[in-house]
């Protein structure tokens, strides 16, 4: 068995996140090309859920099936072992992305310089902030006529509520884009576009007053000097520890499609991004170097083929060494389990592994034992924290169309919610079930899967709720009083936590004012605070 400390120091586990279309897939592909994990451009792209498929959920499910293959992309770069966790770009699967973010140690956030900060970017950043995840920003598509970089920096800082620190700076933009100046390494990376291809050319310029700069970029040299002086005055020296604590996000500029600025991003990433980090369980902080294995399930992928009902549960290893065929404790079920074919997935190739180390993600075949958030250990009773559910955005009442299949319907809903396809709330009075999702598409998926996999018929009736808020109160009398008075708007989540269903933003505000003793939470994370 390899030395665990050495294995940990080699690993970086991260995700690339972006609003759809900003360039996540393109950047992923370029990283994999650098790592030699794929040979040709286009290999990842073909796994992407295509925009044209938005109304065709079957096509999306099919592609989701393919994308199991790229759930974790492992590649080596300069002696480092990089685990890149894939996140679905489609907004209706945002919950999948949020959960994947619980399994990474850092992220690269891609922003389109033409569009700036978009809706999905804001939400993803919120999730990163909840866990103080270190973020590197990559401003993409510099070959397009985008926003002024200073304006863009202001916009990102304001909308994403994070302080930035540019480590590179663009020289002009759009058709006049000349390249970037690397503030960190003090060199110029020139963008040389010919009709066939784009080339990167590095020129070392430690002093910007050097006339070489004028020779290389002509009239843009003075502008660059002014910009860099301003930047250095405002931002000072870069301090890696503020990045690692999630307080400051370094920024790079480039053009992923042209493979420009990608190498310096990757090289800086492997230098500054964190190795597998310690993680909290409900009882203590677990260090990755600990001898005993532990890890948690953050994603479950069901096979939509009714003939193959198995599921794949994705496990993030947090400490110790995971070994094939060894018995581990499934803490929630208090059950010993062993896995004979733990797998890694890469570019449609499935490999059975014998050992895995902290930071690694492996797929375990599951016949219904796992749900998201489950912890495996070598015997210790502890559960990893911080795998939250967020308030859904769309709510519908579940209508059973075939009373003969009530049991099947309940089983189906239980299993689909365990997989994280949707959330279910049971209304306080009566047994009405409300299904909550982040996208319309999920309802089609649920209806189809209930029919095909469980033989149950369901329909959904629209209900006008704005948010589901988990509620807590220090004083149990206040809590009971609230639940009694708001009985018509009260429900319970799958774990029997009380949830207030607010019909509008205005009602929510009013209720918050009227009941100061009640705390309203917008994610189930409060349970693990």
> Across the strands, what pairs with 519?
472
Q: Is 18 in the site for ligand G4P (CB under 6 A)?
A: yes
Q: What's 453's DSSP letter? A: I
Q: Single out the residue of 89, 170, 295, 392 in contact with ligand G4P (rule: CB under 6 A).
A: 89
Q: Which is nearer to ligand G4P, 31 or 425 (CB)?
A: 31
Nearest 5°: phi and psi at 262?
A: -75, -40
Site for ligand G4P in 24-43 (CB under 6 A): 24-26
* Minimum distance from residue 71 beta carbon to ligand G4P (Å): 15
Q: CB 161: neighbour CB atoms within 10 A?
A: 11
Nearest 5°: phi and psi at 144?
A: -100, 160
* Minimum distance from residue 89 beta carbon to ligand G4P (Å): 4
Q: Single out the residue of 144, 159, 263, 494 in contact with ligand G4P (rule: CB under 6 A).
A: 144
Q: Is 140 in the site for ligand G4P (CB under 6 A)?
A: yes
CA proximity to 31, closest of 258, 265, 249: 265
Q: Single out the residue of 256, 331, 445, 450 in contact with ligand G4P (rule: CB under 6 A).
A: 256
Cα–Cα distance, 518 to 226 (Å, whole number):
53
Q: Which is nearer to ligand G4P, 140 or 375 (CB)?
A: 140
Q: Single out the residue of 4, 10, 20, 427 in contact with ligand G4P (rule: CB under 6 A).
A: 20
* Minimum distance from residue 258 beta carbon to ligand G4P (Å): 6
Sole window of 135-143, 288-296, 448-456, 515-523 interacting with ligand G4P (rule: CB under 6 A) = 135-143
* Minimum distance from residue 25 beta carbon to ligand G4P (Å): 3
Q: Is 141 in the site for ligand G4P (CB under 6 A)?
A: yes
8 A C-beta contact, residue 340 and residue 63: no
Nearest 5°: phi and psi at 423?
A: -115, 150
* Minimum distance from residue 174 beta carbon to ligand G4P (Å): 10
Helix locations, 256-362, DSSP H = 262-272
* Minimum distance from residue 486 beta carbon to ligand G4P (Å): 41
8 A C-beta contact, residue 179 and residue 255: no
8 A C-beta contact, residue 200 and residue 189: yes
> With left for phi above 0 and alpha for psi between -120 and 50, is residue 450 left, alpha or beta?
alpha
Q: Is 257 in the site for ligand G4P (CB under 6 A)?
A: yes
Q: Single out the residue of 23, 35, 295, 498 in contact with ligand G4P (rule: CB under 6 A).
A: 23
Cα–Cα distance, 75 to 508 (Å, whole number):
47
The Cβ-side half-sphere exposure at 422, using a 13 Å CA radius, reads: 28
Q: Is 115 in the site for ligand G4P (CB under 6 A)?
A: no
Sole window of 7-15, 22-30, 92-100, 415-423 interacting with ligand G4P (rule: CB under 6 A) = 22-30
Q: Is 524 in the site for ligand G4P (CB under 6 A)?
A: no
Q: What is the largest CA-CA distance in the chain?
A: 83
Residue 494 Cα distances to 170, 409, 462, angstroms: 50, 15, 21
Q: Is 49 in the site for ligand G4P (CB under 6 A)?
A: no
**What is the x/- site pattern for ligand G4P, positions 236-255, by CB under 6 A?**
-------------------x
Nearest 5°: phi and psi at 150?
A: -70, -40
Q: Is 47 in the site for ligand G4P (CB under 6 A)?
A: no
Q: Which is nearer to ligand G4P, 73 or 456 (CB)?
A: 73
Q: Which is nearer to ligand G4P, 135 or 508 (CB)?
A: 135
Residue corresponding to tokens 């390494």: 185
Q: Is 70 in the site for ligand G4P (CB under 6 A)?
A: no
* Minimum distance from residue 260 beta carbon to ligand G4P (Å): 7
Tokens linked to 470: 């988990």
Q: Which is nearer to ligand G4P, 264 or 493 (CB)?
A: 264
* Minimum distance from residue 313 beta carbon to ligand G4P (Å): 25
Cα–Cα distance, 9 to 217 (Å, whole number):
40
What lies within 8 Å, CB to CB, of 495 at 6+ separation is none
Cα–Cα distance, 46 to 67 (Å, whole number):
9
Sole window of 19-27, 122-130, 168-176, 431-439 interacting with ligand G4P (rule: CB under 6 A) = 19-27
Q: Is 216 in the site for ligand G4P (CB under 6 A)?
A: no
Q: Is 471 in the site for ligand G4P (CB under 6 A)?
A: no
Q: Which is nearer to ligand G4P, 121 or 275 (CB)?
A: 121
Chain length of the chain = 529
Sole window of 14-22, 128-136, 396-404, 425-433 interacting with ligand G4P (rule: CB under 6 A) = 14-22
Q: Which is nearer to ligand G4P, 24 or 433 (CB)?
A: 24
Cβ burial of 51 (10 Å; 0-12, 13-18, 19+) is: exposed
What lies within 8 Å, CB to CB, of 283 at 6+ separation is 381, 382
What lies within 8 Å, CB to CB, of 166 at 6+ separation is 149, 153, 183, 231, 235, 250, 251, 253
**What is the x/- site pattern for ligand G4P, positions 423-462, by CB under 6 A?**
----------------------------------------
Residues in the site for ligand G4P, rule: CB under 6 A? 18, 20-26, 45, 48, 89, 140-141, 143-144, 255-258
């Amino acid at each position: 068995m390899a030395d665990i400390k050495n294995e940990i120091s080699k690993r970086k586990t991260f995700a690339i996140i972006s609003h759809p279309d900003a360039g996540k897939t393109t950047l992923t592909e370029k990283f994999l090309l650098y790592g030699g994990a794929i040979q040709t451009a286009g290999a990842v792209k073909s796994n992407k859920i295509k925009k044209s498929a938005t109304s065709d959920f079957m096509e999306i499910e099919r592609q989701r099936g393919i994308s199991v293959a790229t759930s974790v992309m492992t590649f080596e770069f300069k002696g480092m072992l990089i685990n890149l966790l894939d996140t679905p770009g489609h907004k209706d699967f945002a919950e999948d992305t949020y959960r994947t973010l619980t399994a990474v140690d850092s992220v690269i956030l891609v922003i389109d310089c033409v569009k700036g900060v978009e809706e999905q970017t804001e939400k993803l950043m919120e999730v990163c902030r909840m866990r103080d995840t270190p973020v590197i920003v990559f401003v993409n598509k510099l070959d397009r006529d985008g926003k002024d970089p200073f304006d863009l920096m202001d916009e990102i800082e304001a909308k994403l509520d994070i302080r930035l620190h540019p480590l590179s700076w663009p020289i002009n933009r759009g058709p006049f884009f000349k390249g970037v100046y690397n503030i960190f390494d003090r060199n110029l990376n020139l963008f040389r576009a010919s009709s066939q291809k784009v080339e990167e050319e590095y020129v070392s310029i430690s002093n910007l007053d050097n006339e070489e700069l004028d020779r290389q970029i002509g009239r843009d040299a003075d502008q660059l000097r002014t910009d860099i002086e301003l930047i250095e005055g405002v931002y000072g020296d870069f301090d890696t520890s503020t990045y690692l604590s999630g307080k400051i996000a370094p920024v790079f500029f480039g053009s992923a499609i042209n493979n420009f600025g990608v190498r310096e991003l990757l090289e800086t990433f492997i230098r500054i991004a964190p190795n597998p980090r310690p993680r909290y369980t409900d009882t203590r902080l677990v260090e990755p170097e600990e001898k005993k294995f532990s890890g948690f399930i953050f994603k479950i992928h069901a096979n939509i083929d009714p003939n193959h009902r198995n599921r794949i549960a994705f496990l993030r290893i947090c400490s110790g060494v995971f070994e094939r065929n060894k018995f581990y404790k499934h803490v929630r079920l208090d059950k010993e389990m062993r896995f004979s074919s733990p797998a890694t997935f890469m570019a449609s190739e499935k490999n059975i592994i014998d050992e895995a180390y902290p930071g690694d993600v492996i797929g375990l075949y599951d016949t219904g034992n796992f749900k998201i958030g489950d912890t495996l250990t070598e015997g210790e009773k502890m559960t990893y924290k911080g795998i939250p559910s967020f308030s859904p955005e769309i709510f519908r009442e579940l209508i059973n169309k075939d009373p003969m299949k009530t049991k099947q319907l309940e089983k189906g809903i239980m299993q689909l919610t365990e997989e994280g396809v949707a959330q279910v709330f049971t209304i306080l009075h009566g047994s009405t079930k409300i299904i909550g999702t982040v996208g319309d598409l999920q309802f089609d998926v649920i209806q189809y899967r209930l029919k095909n996999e469980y033989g149950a018929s369901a329909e959904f009736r629209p209900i006008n709720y704005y948010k589901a808020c988990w509620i807590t109160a220090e004083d149990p009398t206040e809590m009971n009083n609230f639940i009694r008075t708001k009985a018509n708007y009260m429900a319970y989540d799958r774990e029997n936590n009380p949830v207030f269903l607010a019909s509008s933003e205005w009602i929510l505000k009013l209720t918050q004012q009227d009941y100061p003793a009640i705390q309203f939470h917008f994610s189930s994370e409060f349970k693990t605070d």
